[in-house]
Every structure is written in structure tokens, then in C-alpha cells.
């Protein structure tokens, strides 16, 4: 009973904005609440972008980025256990479809990191044009990025800026300890078929591909008011003082470990 009440409470908290428009239907002899086909149709672009930012934030706080499943053979497909770019992008895409239904046109899209076509993002179509959502990265890209105009924002002390160039969108990033922006990802915005994207995702662990995180430990999450990332034996946070504390801790451990 407590489990049922907990699930109901979570559903109500997640969907309280749409409760007035929800419909009661029967499915296999049971009463169920469902979103009407036009749920969210009353939202303009600004409100929808705000709702997407909230979804991105909630997703980051519950679904971490990590490569642990590669080393420990964790079953992560379509689960909240997290994973790398494609695992998280597929999961978030399904979440958007469930949350917004036909109101939001969202599609998976492949793009490049470090010149390699190994990354999966989501493109959403709003009234002004396409926006790129990157929940699959191990960096906190907390806002949908417009594909049709230059933009910039910061999250947890990390700065992002993006600019379209012909058929491509380039996104750059600068961490607090860096002096200048560096290219983060590039996306060729030429439409890709769902079959093309799914085939690339299914083939991502082929020996033909050199993944950016192959053989490396990566773990990123948001907890409280901070972003945290483990990269092999290095700890990084959007807040420089937290990263400095880790460096001091590591230095002390190395001194103690030395003969």
C-alpha cells in the first residue's frame, strides 16, 4: 500500500501543472489518468523552454552520467541507472514524449565530439526553430541551445556559448580553471532519419569506433547546489574551491603513500 501511495504522490508532483486537463480512462479494466493529446498546447516558446530546463535539471539530479557499466557489465538500458550519451539521450527523449506528447516535436540526432561522430543529442522543434538538448554529455548543459542564432549561458560556474555556421552548430565550453573557450561539440543539422540514428547508436561499441571515454572512468552528477565530475583520479566541479579541496586531498594521500 505504501508503495502504491508513493508512486501516486510522485505522479501527482510530476504532473501537477496538467492535472486540470488530464482525462480518466479505462485500460485493461483499470482506471488510469492520461495526458490529453494537446497537453502543453497552451504553452508558448518561452514557457516551453522553461519547462524543458526544469526537465533537464530534474533528469540530471536523478540520472548520472557514468562509464561504470562498461567495467562492471551493469544492465542500464532504458533505466534510471544512467550511462553515457546515447543511454541518457534515449531515456530523456522517451521522458519528453511521455511528458509533452504530440505538443513537442523531438528527435534523436548524432553529432561530433573531438571530431568523432560518437555523440547523441536531442533536437526539438519550437516556433522559432530547432533547439539542441544535450543531456548525454558529462558536462552540465542545462539549457536547450538555439540552432539558429548565437547564444551563451553558464551553469555551475562553467560557461557555454554556441554559434551556427552554415548547416552546423558549434558549442564551446570554458571551465573556471581554463583561460579560454574550447570547442565542445559540433552538430551537422542536416536531418537524420530515425533509422540512421538508431543504427549508429546500436553500433557505438563496435571496435571500429574510438570512443572519447574508452577505458576511462567517468562519473558526473548534480547534487544540491553543485555539479560534480570524476575523471579517472581527478575530481572536477563547477566551483573552483571544491576542485581545489580535492587537489589538496589527493596531494596529501600521495604524500602518505610515498615510501
Q: Please give, one letter per residue, the 3-state secondary structure of 197-209.
A: HHHHHHCCCCCCC
Q: Are 81 and 69 in contact (CB under 8 A)?
A: yes
**Domain that includes residue 26, residue range:** 1-36
Residues 107, 8 share a domain: no
pLDDT of residue 97: 94
Q: How far apart are the first and last CA of the chain?
A: 58
- Domains: count for the chain: 2
**CA proximity to 140, closest of 56, 76, 66, 218:** 56
pLDDT of residue 64: 87
pLDDT of residue 112: 92
**Radius of gyration, alpha carbons of the chain:** 20
- The angle, 0 to 180 degrees and rounded to 10, between the axes of the packed helices 45-62 and 85-100 is 130
**Strand intervals (E) in the chain:** 23-27, 30-34, 65-66, 105-113, 116-126, 129-133, 145-146, 151-155, 158-165, 168-174, 182-188, 218-223, 226-231, 234-237
pLDDT along the chain (259 residues), means of 10: 52 51 48 46 82 96 79 55 82 94 93 87 96 94 98 95 97 92 96 93 70 71 86 62 53 54
Residues 177, 107 share a domain: yes
Q: How many CB atoms lie within 10 A of CB 148?
A: 12
pLDDT of residue 25: 47
pLDDT of residue 110: 95
State how far the Cα of 164 lies from the Cα of 130, in Å rounded to an integer. 11
Residues 196, 177 share a domain: yes
pLDDT of residue 46: 93
pLDDT of residue 28: 45
Residues 18, 122 share a domain: no
**CA proximity to 45, closest of 126, 101, 104:** 126
pLDDT of residue 123: 98
Residues 61, 27 share a domain: no
Q: Are 150 and 162 in contact (CB under 8 A)?
A: yes
CATH assignment of the domain containing 125:
3.30.2140.20
**CA proximity to 137, closest of 68, 189, 71, 66:** 66
Residues 252, 171 share a domain: yes
pLDDT of residue 40: 45
Amino acid at each position: 500500500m505504501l508503495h502504491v501511495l508513493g508512486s501516486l504522490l510522485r505522479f501527482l508532483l510530476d504532473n501537477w501543472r496538467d492535472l486540470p486537463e488530464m482525462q480518466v480512462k479505462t485500460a485493461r479494466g483499470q482506471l488510469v489518468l492520461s495526458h490529453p493529446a494537446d497537453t502543453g498546447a497552451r504553452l508558448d516558446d518561452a514557457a516551453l523552454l522553461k519547462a524543458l530546463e526544469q526537465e533537464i535539471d530534474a533528469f540530471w539530479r536523478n540520472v548520472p552520467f557514468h562509464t561504470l557499466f562498461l567495467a562492471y557489465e551493469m544492465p542500464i538500458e532504458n533505466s534510471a541507472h544512467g550511462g553515457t550519451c546515447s543511454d541518457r539521450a534515449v531515456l530523456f527523449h522517451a521522458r519528453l514524449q511521455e511528458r509533452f506528447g504530440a505538443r513537442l516535436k523531438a528527435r534523436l540526432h548524432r553529432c561530433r565530439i573531438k571530431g568523432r561522430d560518437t555523440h547523441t543529442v536531442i533536437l526539438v522543434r519550437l516556433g522559432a526553430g530547432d533547439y539542441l538538448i544535450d543531456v548525454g554529455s558529462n558536462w552540465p548543459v542545462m539549457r536547450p541551445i538555439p540552432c539558429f542564432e548565437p547564444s551563451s549561458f553558464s551553469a555551475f560556474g562553467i560557461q557555454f556559448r554556441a554559434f551556427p555556421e552554415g548547416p552546423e552548430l558549434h558549442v564551446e565550453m570554458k571551465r573556471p580553471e581554463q583561460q579560454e573557450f574550447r570547442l565542445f561539440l559540433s552538430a551537422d543539422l542536416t536531418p537524420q532519419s530515425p533509422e540512421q540514428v538508431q543504427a549508429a547508436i546500436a553500433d557505438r561499441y563496435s571496435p571500429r569506433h574510438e570512443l572519447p571515454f574508452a577505458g576511462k572512468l567517468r562519473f558526473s552528477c548534480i547534487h544540491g547546489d553543485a555539479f560534480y565530475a570524476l575523471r579517472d583520479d581527478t575530481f572536477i566541479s563547477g566551483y573552483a574551491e571544491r576542485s581545489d579541496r580535492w587537489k589538496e586531498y589527493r596531494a596529501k594521500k600521495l604524500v602518505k603513500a610515498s615510501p
